[in-house]
Structure 1
Amino acid sequence: MKPRSPGAALVVAAVSLALTLLSCGKAAESGGSSGSDGSTPGGTKDGVTIGLLLPDSHTARWEAFDRPLIEQKIRELCRECKLEYANAQGDVAAQQQQVDTMITKKVDVMILDPVDYKALRSSVKQADAADIAVVSYDRLAEGPVSAYVSFDGDRVGELQANALLEAMGDKADGGRIVMMNGDPTDPNAAWFREGALSRLKGKVKIGKEYDTPRWSPENAHINMSGAISALGADSIDGVYSANDALASGIVSSLKAGNVKPLPPITGQDAELNGVQRIVEGEQSMSVYKPFKPQAEAAAAMAVALGRGEPLDAVTEQSIDTSSARDVPAVLLRPVELTVDNIKETVVKDGMYTIDQICTPKYLSACERAGLVT
């Protein structure tokens, strides 16, 4: 994957401008309230139909943030648009069937987050043969996709590795870590790993390294228990965890193994329980990827493609894939999340409230962190 970009900050601004222009272009249209499927009662019969296919519900963000944000922005940009939704629950075969169903329903565009980017190649080709544009969302599917929206995966891994080294202190010089990577069927997992290793190589020793199918906390727990048995509880100076779901399994395993104090542990996605672990001191950091600009960029691309409009107004970026060159893309910049910037990031952006983070269990930790007084 070779991104070509005018700069992440400019991309955010460009996407915001594009959304404003798209919204203004439809301001004169009338429409009723949205139906439960995201469609608009009384909308035009020949309106654009957009299929949204998400990979699972194991990772909290998909149902809690991505889906409602995408649906909301599509309704704002295109009142006559109809939405079709499906979640594969981590099952490749189920998602392939869901794509087939979308093709049968003759949707105009699909926003697809593939469970397995390689296995969905044939499905993407079938959609293309049916003249259905595919916006690859968060994970880049193989095949003739029309557009791609995600975050800079190299930068995600770099942020995680830099934070881990800083938290390890003196042990960052020759210390031993465990690497808990994500699902090997997710191309982002390899992208994160590559970015992390660019900072970790030559500085720390990797005692054990694991891939974690389905991004499963249970698998992470099992893997971490194996690492403790193989390396010894006192010989793990840090843990690279590719996301917060894996970090939850890692922490539970370390606690079950009576490892004290917990070594520094990274994360990603700013899940609520991940933020709470950061406040508690059980997780060093997470990577916050503001879902709203990502979701809104995907919605803008889908609406434009459904109307047969060019994507120039949405993005000036492009990437080269194994299947195509110059695929229009939006690659956003992730943000390191620590106990020191919770208010300025996830709280300020409306992702969580202080009350949601600082439940009675975490109240004293929140007081120490200055989140409540």
Structure 2
Amino acid sequence: MKSLSQILMLSLSIFLLSCEMKPTIGFLVANLEQERWQKDIDNFKANVEDLGGIAIVAVADSDEKVQYEQALKMIADGVDVLVVVPVNRTKACEIVKTAHKNSIPVISYDRLIKNCNLDYHISTDNIGIGELQANYLTKIKPSGKYGIIGGATTDNNAYLLKLGQMNVLQPLIDNGSIEIIFDSYTKHWSIHEGYEMTNKYLQESEDIDAIIAGNDDLASGAISALKEHNLEGKVLVAGQDADIEAIKNIVIGNQTITIYKPIESLSYAAADAAIKISKGIAPSNGSVTVNNGKRLVPAILLQAQIVNKQNIEMTVISEGFIKKEEIKKR
């Protein structure tokens, strides 16, 4: 008959063994500059834990060298899978190469990692988002002067958004209905850059009908510049991410639309894929792929939604992304 101490030791051994069997998923996030990223982290961690894993998170504060060092630490600590929101779409390939040398698969989350043997990609259809933005504004203003504020050059999504926007705008440009008065990518996805680009144009001319911005921070910066020229609410503005400030701007009429990415679904898809991959199970049938310049990467691409003044209640509020009382706060 076992003694009490032997029983306790056996119980402890079983407990520790069960902990060791849980797959550990590393989540490398580029930054927390946009409010959505904290929601991605919180949802991802909860989903990994619900699926029987352990999530470890590190935020690189937009420093690609820091992100690489964070990856090295997670690899040394023995994570089973890395999920990466890359700071730099090309430099992050070093993370993939190093992880593979240690037999660790890598999933890129939201932003594609270019030119490497990436294992999997989870994102929204960013070309589709660009088309949603341009389609909505051109239905209201099928002719006029349009400004385009692109996203960060380090982020592959910026190029995909532009491709989608131009799918809609180019025929209207070709027939002379629309004139592009400014069009540039940014270094970051920042309010300051949105302001500077818009204000630079407005100092020379206030003849503008619409602005398509890569995200809501860029849109917010553009709106600040429009306010200085008494043009807020008179110019159509499209953004992306459904940030709380964007929703407030939509309510008061200074922003036309934003795009809501299904963050809960994205984070679940990434957590589910990571847990499956850690167990040697393919996350999907591989029918969807994206070309990252090196290979066709198996992918899950979710659809985004337009949020306008009429459907705020039915979209971001009903899905719990934003609380109604938050919109009323100033």
Determine if contact 1:56/1:88 at 8 Å carries over to the other structure.
yes
Matched, 1:209 2:183: yes
Residues 260 and 187 (structure 1), Cα distance of their counterparts in 2 relative to 1, 3 Å cut: closer
* AA partner of residue 324 (structure 1): R
Selected match of 1:130 from 102, 121, 127: 102
Partner of 2:121: 148
Give runs of aligned pairs for residues 161-172 of structure 1, distance below 5 A: 161-168=134-141, 172=142
Asked if structure 2 preserves the Cα contact closer than 8 Å seen for 1:90 and 1:214, the reply is no
Distance 1:323 1:199 in 2: 28
Once the two structures are superposed, what CA deviation does each residue of 1:92-125 show, in whole Å capped at 9, x if it has no partner? 2211211122122121101101011111112211
Gaps of 5+ in 1: 1-39, 362-373
Paired residue for 1:346, among 313, 316, 327?
Answer: 316
For 1:72, the aligned partner's letter is A
Residue 220 of structure 1 corresponds to 194
Residue correspondence of structure 1 range 243-258 to structure 2 within 5 A: 243-258=215-230
Distance 1:206 1:102, change over 3 A: same
Structure 2: distance between partners of 1:339 and 1:292: 22
Tell me the amino acid that sits aligned with residue 161 of structure 1. A
CA shift digits 1:51-107 (9 cap, x unpaired):
0011111111011x11111111111111xx322210111112211211122122121
Name the CA distance, whole Å, in 2 between partners of 1:87 and 1:200.
Answer: 36
Residue 330 of structure 1 pairs with residue 305 of structure 2: no
Question: What do the CA deviations read for 1:235-276 (whole angstroms, capped 9, x no partner)?
Answer: 111111111111111111111233355300001111111111
Question: Hey, what's the Cα distance between the residues in 2 that align with 1:253 and 1:94?
Answer: 34
Higher gyration radius (CA):
2
Q: How far apart, in 2, do the equivalents of 1:312 and 1:267 lie? A: 31
Kept in 1, the 8 Å contact 2:233–2:255? The answer is no
- Kindly provide the amino acid, as one letter, of the partner of residue 336 in structure 1: I
> Which residue in the other structure is 2:7 paired with?
none
Partner of 2:282: 310
Corresponding position: 1:49 with 2:8? no
Aligned equivalents of 1:320, 1:215: Cα separation in 2: 24
Q: CA deviation at 1:319?
A: 3.0
Q: CA separation in 1, counterparts of 2:288 and 2:199?
A: 43
Secondary structure of 1:206's counterpart equals: strand
Matched, 1:190 2:164: no
Greater shift, 149-158 or 119-128, is seen at 119-128
Counterparts of 1:330 and 1:156 in 2: how far apart (Å)? 15
CA 1:286–1:41: 2 relative to 1, 3 Å: farther
Q: Aligned to 1:201, what secondary structure does the other structure show?
A: helix
User: Is the counterpart of residue 355 in structure 1 residue 325 in structure 2?
Assistant: yes
3-state DSSP of counterpart to 2:151: coil
How far apart, in 1, do the equivalents of 2:280 and 2:215 lie?
Answer: 37
Q: What is the distance in 2 between the residues matched to 1:349 and 1:207?
A: 37
Q: Secondary structure at the match of 2:188?
A: helix
Structure ranking higher on relative contact order (CA contacts 8 Å, 6+ apart): 1
d(CA) in 2 for partners of 1:275 and 1:212? Answer: 23
Task: Find the aligned partners of 2:291 and 2:171 in 1 and give their Cα distance.
Answer: 30
Q: Is the 8 A contact 1:88 1:95 kept in 2?
A: yes
CA shift for structure 1 position 344: 1.0
SS at match of 2:55: strand
Quickly say closer, same or farther: Cα 1:42–1:340, change in 2 above 3 A. farther
Offset, 1:311? 2.0
- State the percentage of identical aligned residues: 29
**Rounded Cα–Cα distance in structure 2 between residues aligned with 1:336 and 1:113:** 23
Give the structure 1 partner of residue 37 of structure 2.
62
**Residue 88 of structure 2 aligns to a residue in which SS?**
coil
**Change over 3 Å in CA distance of 1:41–1:164 after alignment to 2:** farther
CA displacement at 1:47 relative to structure 2:
2.7
Distance 2:263 2:109 in 1: 11
Residues 315-366 of structure 1: CA distance to partner in whole angstroms, max 9, x if unpaired?
A: 64333331223x321101111111111111111111112112123x5xxxxx
Equivalent position to 2:111, from 132, 139, 146: 139
1:241 aligns with: 213
2:242 to 252, 266, 270: 270
Aligned-pair CA distance for 1:46: 3.8
1:122-173 per-position Cα deviation (integer Å, ceiling 9, x unaligned) = 22111111111111100111222211110111110011001111233xxx32
> SS of the residue aligned with 2:103?
coil
Q: Structure 1 length as normaliser, TM-score?
A: 0.79
2:75 is the alignment partner of 1:103: yes
| RMSD between superposed Cα atoms in Å | 1.8
**Matched position secondary structure for 1:50:** strand
CA distance in 2, matches of 1:182, 1:258: 25
